[in-house]
Amino acid sequence: MSDSSLLNVAKDDAPQLSAMQTMVITVPDEWIDYNGHMTEWQYYKLFADSGDVFLRAIGFTEDYRHQGYSFFNVQGQQRNLRECRIGSELAVYSEIIGFDDLRLHLYQYAVDIERQITVATGEHMLLHVDTTARRAVKMEPCMYQAVSEAFAKTQPKLAPKGVGQPFFKIA
What is the percentage of the chain residues whose pLDDT exceeds 90? 90
Whether residue 171 has pLDDT greater than 90: no
Whether 164 is in a domain gets the answer: no
Half-sphere exposure of 1 (CA within 13 A, CB side): 18
Domain extent, residue 125, equals 20-154
- Classify residue 25: in a domain, yes or no: yes
Of 20 and 7, the one with more pLDDT:
20
pTM of the model as a whole: 0.92
* Structural domains in the chain (count): 1
Any domain includes 89: yes
Residue 160: half-sphere exposure toward Cβ, Cα within 13 Å: 33
What pLDDT is stored for residue 55 in this prediction?
A: 98
Residue count of the chain, please give it.
171
* CATH number assigned to the domain comprising residue 135: 3.10.129.10
Higher pLDDT, 156 or 5: 156
- Which pLDDT tens digit goes with each residue over 129-151? 999 999 999 999 999 999 999 99
Q: 44-101 pLDDT, tens per residue?
A: 999 999 999 999 999 999 999 999 999 999 999 999 999 999 999 999 999 999 999 9
Q: What is the pLDDT of residues 108-123, one digit of tens each?
A: 999 999 999 999 999 9
